[in-house]
Structures are given as structure tokens and as C-alpha cells.
Amino acid sequence: MVFQLLSVRAENFRGFGAPFQLALDAPLTLLLGENGAGKSSALNAIEWCLFGSEVAKKGSGIDERGAWEVAHRGSAGPIVVALTMDALEGRVVLRRSRAADAKVRDADTLELELPGGDVLGPGEIEDWRVRNQLPDWATWKHSFCQHQELLRLRVTDDGQRSAQLGRLLGLDAYLAASAVLKDLRYGSLQKTAQTQLADLEGELARSMERPAVELQEVTARLAELGVDRAALSGDMVEERARVLTAGARELAGGLDGPLDGAAVPDTTDMAELAAWIPGWLRLVKDAGRQLEDEAAQLRRKQRGLEDARASLAPAKRRRDDAQAALSACAGAHGSLAALEAERARLADERSSLKNEERAANETLALLRQALKHLETSGHAGTGVTCPVCDHTDPGLEARLQARLQQGGNGFAPRLEALDQRDAALAKQHAELAGLHAELESAEITYRQTTENLRASLPNDMGDTGEQADGLERQLAAWKRRIEALERDARRATDYAVQCATEAEVLALLGKWRIAVARADAAAGDLTRTAAWEDLDAAIDEAAGLACDLDAIGQMIREAQNERSRERAQAVNQSLGKYYGRIAHREGTPAAAIRVDVKQTATKISYRLIDGTGADATPVLNQAAMNALAFALLFAQVEDRAARGLPAWVQLDDPAQSLDATHESGLAAAILELSARVPVLVATYEGPLSRRLIEAAPDTLHQVDLGTNHQPQGARR
Amino acid sequence: MKPQIRRQLDELSQRTGKEYGKLVQKLLAIAFLESGAEHLVESSIQGIDLQVRLAGIDHAFEVKTSEGADITLGKKDLEGMTGHTRQGHAVYVATLTSGLFTNWIFARFHPGELPPAKKLSAFQLRPYRCRDLEARITAAFDSAVEHHAELAITDGQRGLDQVLSTYPKRHLA
């Protein structure tokens, strides 16, 4: 082994304000001091010089380093730490410095002074590190020093224990290779690829859903309209368009008038048809209405004619009946004029008779007066002189009385007979007048009916016979015309409904064609696209890489396993030796702790088993855990030294949690290790230090730091 | 593979259950015969599933189908493939898994590289793919599914055997 630390010098670093120098060239260096004396600062100085900010950040792997201050609080000068060491090049000085007011992200100044005075910068120092096989921070952290935080994790944490044991077996290179493979995450390549493919598939499925739903809706509506979904084809639009326009032309030519001149396009183009159909539908509907109006009008005329025809016969019959009745009545009673003449004669006769009656009544009144006078004058019986003619007639009274007894001479019966005769004539007259009136009314009705009928008939119809024939012909002609109009109107209406449906079908078919194209595009074979081929090739490459990495990993694991087994015996001896010493169990089965190698298809792991083959760690107490942790560290450092690698171990307050027996055992182990590897122990006055001082007076370099060296604390 | 074909295969799988693998094998046989296979031997019971002479070269196919992304290769499968490799045949694991992006993967078999009775993902077979062969068969397979999947659902293997029997170059082992 060429590499050896010789001394460390620190200034303005953590606990050290003033320059502090510590020789490290003895096999065992013992730093003694109370708490705060600067023991840990001395050890930290070595780490900081070698690894800089790596040791002083959260990612250092040591939690307490997250809030670490490098600078000595109260010092304004630059922080400087220098390590003097023997290396392949001879005696060199590695110097790391940092301005007191440097920001966290400011880089340190690092230089390496070579024996000839040449100075190497950071990049060259890395090469120098590799050349001298100096450890990186992770290796240092686990294999060169005992940090309180990390000590027991070596045993208690499965991963760290396995890694530690792997290092102990000298398998750093394999572990590093495995770590590289793990960093490449080849195991997740497959999952990543599959996840991405699944995501893509999900996305594709979603994008396919919408066109599929659209297609389904269009197809369902077409089915409702009577279009068999099984018969749907790309040519159907053209076929139905041709049928539609042919039907339109047939209708236009067959309606006899309303659609004359209407243009029907000779096309199957959906856009042209879509522009034409609404106007055409309006035309057809208007034509239908026009035909219906015409038919209704004709129907009204037909009804008028039929009504006229129906009322003609009754009117004629009434007139004839009236004539017959009048004739019969006239034959029986004479004419109306004769009846009137007779009644006039009867009136004259009655008037004469009435006069006669009046004269007779006046005579009778006079006679009664005369008789009364005779009676009052006393002339009655003795003759009476007529008061009228002064004729005295002795028989006058009697004659007067006889005369009075004769009365009005029968005027009343004669008048009554006359009145009866007149009443009979009046009745006959009224009857005859009524018949005359009825005849006149019937005549008028008949005349009006015939005039109406004549008005409803074409002008060229002459006599009644012609009119009757014409009437029937006209009615028959109108009937035919009405039927034709109604048929055409129905045809137009039906066609309009069909055409509207067909227009929707055509529009849906257009949509269907687009939806099919969309669905086809969405459901197309994406695996034949260039993009997919690129992705597929990339996945193949990833799979190839994963396969290769898998194979390499497998080879590494096999070699590692082989190497593990080769090295296991020596390591187990070393481990058992140190564990026995520290735990004071040398030669007992409990000290026969050994490394067990477990290989699976994907990894190798290590554990510690006891003499019975059982897992050793679950039954260990705290002191035994610490003992085992130290044993692992010591065995590992010893192994590095045995392999000619730079080896060094520094222990910061290692006696924690150890009783006197274990302290004694630890001292014995340190003494044994220091025979092979330089050891730096920082501790306080106690059993451990005393045992070391007593046992190694010649090889021990003791530095007493005394009391507190950092009264103002430390700062970064 | 067209999604339409994928859907037909999914339906075939759902309707035929365990028979699905055998039906796919027969559809693949039809595809090979339609793609110009000069000779095809179909193993109905054991041994390599399909032996196909294409362009004068003897190929052997162990056909594997799966609902998921993994397939299982048993010891007998590996022995069968190893045996054919020794006979100088170009041996492939023909894999058809589920998924919209699924196509046939014809992975060239190298004895000793695949562990027996282990679940293998199609991903792991990808480094061994023979893309030319896959490209040659994909369209023919799509066509075979398109034309015969319905028959496979209704009549099963018997129906597809009737179709296969019309190809004079098809033989049964």
C-alpha cells in the first residue's frame, strides 16, 4: 500500500479558528478531549478536504450534515484545510479552501501540490484520485469511518447491511455495476413501455368511441326510416339520389299543370341535391294545395248542380199540383171574378134589403108611436086619428096593432141567408185566391230552379232535354275531374312526405358515409402507420437493451455470486474475529457470525447468519449491534488493506452505548486493526482511551485537545 | 392489426374460451397457406404447433396466445422447439397477446435463452422478432379472421378444419 495520510492542517474550519495541525502518520492516533474540544472537527476536516460539499449537504447520507456549517464562527479569514499524504507520486498536499463569505453554491478552491511543486486543478485531481484508488464519498462513508448516525444502520437496515456485506466481500465493482444497471432502470423499461402502450390504447379507444357512437346513431335513424343497415353501402347515396330525381321528374310530368316547368336536376351530387330539395318540396306542396283547392271548388259546383237537379222535380210537381187544384176549384166554384161579381150582387141585394128593413123598422116605430098616442089620447077604440095623416079610422088601433104584430116582414132570415151565401162565396174566393197564390209561388220556384240549373249548365245546352243530358254529362265530367284532382293532390302530398323522408335519408346517408370514413380512420390499423413503426422500433430497441442489460446483470450476479463464495471464508473469519473481540465472545458459537449469500433471478443479497444458520441480527441487543457494526467496518477496512487499496479508519466517539467489557473489547479490536490499517480515534478520557494508551505505548500518537476549542461555535 | 380484427378476435376469445388458442393457430395456418406456404403441417395434439415451408425454408412455430401481455413457455414447448432447431428448422415463438396495438410477434427461438415454465412478456420476446415474417403474415391473418372468425365461433375447430382441408398443402401430424 502506497497511500497514507500523514497530517491534516485546518484553519477557520468549524471548531478551529486558529490553525490546527494533526499528525496522522502513526498506526494509531488518539485524539483526546472533552465535548466541544474539537475532536469531531478534526475528523470532519479530513472528510471535507477529500470530498468538499459532498460531506456537508442533505444528500450526504448523514442527516445532521443538512445544517452543517463549515466556517468557524467568529473568524473572517478563508477556510483552509490541507491534507498531506503519501501517494503514487510521492508526498503530496491536497488543499481545499473557501472564502469565509462564500455563498452556498460557490465552489471551493481545490488544488493538489505535487512533490516537484506542480499544482493540479480539480479536473486533474479527479484523475489523480482514480489513479491512487482513493474512495468516493459513499465508499468513505461506509468503509472508512464510523459515523454515529450510520453505525447501526450497517446492521439494522437490510439494504445497507447487504451492501456493506457486499463491500466486505470485496465486490465493490459488482455492486457498482449492479447500481449502474439499476440506475438504467432496465427492469422498468418493460413496464414503462407497457404503460405507455396501455395509455395509447386507452386514448385510441376513446377517440374511436365518438365516431362509433355517431355511426351508430346515424345507422339507427336510417333503420327507423326503413333503410336496412345490412344494405348500407357507399353507392346507396347515388342510387337513392337517382331514384329521387326520377320520381321528381315523373311527378312533375304527371300532375298536369302545377309542376309544369319545374326543374329537376340531373345529378347525384349531395350538395346540389341538398340545395334543390327544399325548393322542390315547397313546389310540390304548393301544387298539392292548388290541386286540392281546385278539387274543392269543383266539388262545390258539383254540389250546386246536384242540388239544382234535385230541387227541379219538386218544384215542377208543386206547380202542377197547384194548377190542378186551381182548375178543380175553379170548375166547382167558378172563376175568382165570377165569385167576386156574385158577391158584389149579394152585397147590393143585402144593401137593398137592409134599406127595406130600415124603412120597415121606421114604419113600425111610427106605428108604435101612433098606437101609444091613441092609447094616451083616449082615442083608442073611439076612433083614432092617424097622427101622420090625420086620418081617423075607428079601426085604426086594431090595424096598428095588427101591423105591429106583422113586425119587420122577415128581413132577418133573408139577411142571414144572404150573409151565409156571402160567407160561402168568401170561403170559395179565399180558397181560390190561395190556390192562385200557391200556383204563383210554385211557378216562381220552378222558374228560379230552372234558371239556376240553366245557369249551372254550359251555354251551348239548348232545350230542356239537352240540358238534362248535359247536366248528367257535366256531373260525370266533374266527378272524373274531381277524382283526378284529388288523386293528383294525394300523390303530391304523399310524394312530399316521401321526398322529405328521402331527403332525410339522403342527408343521413351522407352523414353515414362521413361517419364511416371517420370511424374507419379512427379504427384504422395504426400499427401500419409510420409513427407506429417508429414507436414499435423504439420499443424493440428498448426491449433489446433491456434484454442485454438483463443478460449483463445476470452475468454480473453469477460472477458476483461466485466471487462471494470464494471470499466468504476469509471474510467470515475476519468478521467473526472482530465481533468476538468486541463482544467478548471469542471462540463461542455466537461469534460464528457469517455472511450468507442469496441469489435470485434478479438480484443478490447478503445477510448475517449465526452458527445455526438463523438470521443473526433479530436477536442482537444494542451493544451487540454496535459490536457487529464495528466488526463489519473493521473487517472491511482490513480487507481493503489486504487487497492493496487505500485503507484508513476514523472513529468518532466509538464507545457510545458500550459497557466497559465492550469498550475493552473494542480497544482490543482497534489495536489489532491498527497493526494493518492506520486508525484515528477521537474520544474522551475513559476505559477505551486508557486501554489503548496502556496497550500501545509505542505505536500510539496521542493528541490531547483539552477543553473547548470552539467557544463561538462553527459556521459554514 | 385493424381494430375491427382485434374486436373479432376478442369476441372469438370470449365466445370460445379455452378453444381460442387452437382456433387462432388454425387461423394462422390459413394465413400461412394464403401467404404462399409450400407445405404446412399442423400438430393437433402435441409437439410444435405449426411446421411451415416458406420460400423453401422449413419453419416451426410454437403458437402462444394470451388475454394479457404474458405468455408461458412450458418445458415441453422448449424441448419441442430445441428439437426442431437441431433439425435445422427456423423456430419461432409466435405470440399474439391482447390490445389494440397487438400484432403477431414472431420471435426467433434460441435454445437456452428462455427459461422454462416462466411467464414471459411479449416485451421480452421483441429482441428476437423477425419483422419480415410478421409483415408477410399480418395482412393474410387479418383476412383469415375477417372471413372465418364467424365460422370459428359457430363451428369451432371443426369448421376451420373444413376450411383448411380445402388447401392441398395442409397436412396433419
- A69-128, pLDDT tens digit by residue? 888 888 889 999 999 999 999 999 999 999 988 887 888 999 999 999 999 998 899 999
- Top-level CATH class of B3-172? alpha beta
Cβ atoms of A512 and A218 within 8 Å: the answer is yes
From A205-214, A621-630, B7-16, the region with the lowest mean pLDDT: A205-214
Helix B20-34 and helix B3-16, axial crossing angle in degrees, nearest 10: 140
- Chain A neighbors of B123, CB-CB under 8 A: 189-190, 193-194, 539, 543, 546
Question: What stretches of A144-265 show up as alpha helix (H) in DSSP?
Answer: 148-151, 153-156, 158-168, 172-184, 186-224, 236-254
Write out the residues of chain B at the interface with chain A, using a CB-CB cutoff of 8 A: 1-4, 69, 99-101, 103, 121, 123-127, 129, 142
CA distance A349 to A417: 11
Cβ atoms of A142 and A164 within 8 Å: the answer is yes
Cβ atoms of A445 and A352 within 8 Å: the answer is no
Residue A631, all three cell numbers: 466488526
Q: For residue A384, give the H/E element and its range.
A: strand A384-385
- Chain B neighbors of A526, CB-CB under 8 A: 100-101
Burial of A129 (0-12, 13-18, 19+ CB in 10 A): middle
Residue count of chain B:
173
Chain B CA closest to residue A546: B124
Q: For residue A94, give the H/E element and its range.
A: strand A90-98
pTM: 0.51
Burial of A508 (0-12, 13-18, 19+ CB in 10 A): buried
pLDDT on residue A421: 92
Q: Kindly report the average pLDDT of chain A as a whole number.
A: 83
CA distance B89 to B82: 10
| Beta-carbon separation of A190 and B103 below 8 A | no
- 3-class DSSP assignment, residue A152: coil
Cβ atoms of A43 and A653 within 8 Å: the answer is no
Which amino acid is located at A511 in the chain?
Answer: K
- Show Cβ contacts of residue A231 under 8 Å, excluding neighbours closer than 6 positions: none
CA distance A95 to A112: 6
User: Residue B5: how many CA atoms within 13 Å on its side-chain side?
Assistant: 24
For residues A48 and A158, the model is more confident at A48
Find the mean pLDDT for residues A617-643. 85
pLDDT on residue B90: 95
Q: How far is CA A399 from CA A374, A403, A703, in A?
A: 12, 6, 213
| Beta-carbon separation of A547 and B124 below 8 A | yes
Q: Of A201, A523, A540, which is closest to B127 when you measure between CB atoms? A: A540
- Chain B neighbors of A547, CB-CB under 8 A: 124, 127
Residue B116 pLDDT class (50, 70, 90 cuts): low
Cβ atoms of A22 and A694 within 8 Å: the answer is no
Position of cell 190556390?
A435
How close does chain B come to A223, measured CA to CA in Å? 22
A239 has a chain B CB within 8 A of its CB: no
A197 has a chain B CB within 8 A of its CB: yes
On the question of pLDDT at B103 being above 50, the answer is yes
pLDDT on residue A525: 65
Q: Which conformational region is residue A643 in: left (phi greater than 0), alpha (psi within -120 to 50 degrees), or beta?
A: alpha
On the question of pLDDT at A713 being above 50, the answer is no
Find the mean pLDDT for residues A554-580. 83
A546 has a chain B CB within 8 A of its CB: yes
Q: Of A200, A532, A540, which is closest to B126 when you measure between CB atoms? A: A540
| Beta-carbon separation of A527 and B101 below 8 A | yes
What per-residue string of b and e applies to B72-96 under the rule 16 or more CB within 10 Å gives b?
ebeeebbebbeebbeeebbbbbbbb
The DSSP code for B109 is: P
- Show Cβ contacts of residue B91 under 8 Å, excluding neighbours closer than 6 positions: B48, B59, B60, B61, B62, B81, B84, B85, B108, B109
Q: Of A190, A194, A204, which is closest to B100 when you measure between CB atoms? A: A204
pLDDT on residue A710: 43
Parse chain A into domains and list their residue ranges: 215-344+394-499
How do residues B123-161 score in pLDDT, each as one tens digit?
A: 888 889 998 999 889 889 999 999 999 999 999 999 999
Instruction: Of A51-60, A230-239, A340-349, B60-69, give the range with the top mean pLDDT.
Output: A340-349
CA distance A657 to A670: 17
> How far is residue A369 CA from its own chain's centroid?
135
- 3-class DSSP assignment, residue A644: coil
On the question of pLDDT at A46 being above 70, the answer is yes
Find the mean pLDDT for residues A565-582. 85
For A:600-639, CB contacts with B below 8 A are none
How do residues A457-500 score in pLDDT, each as one tens digit?
A: 665 554 555 566 777 888 888 889 889 888 888 888 888 888 88
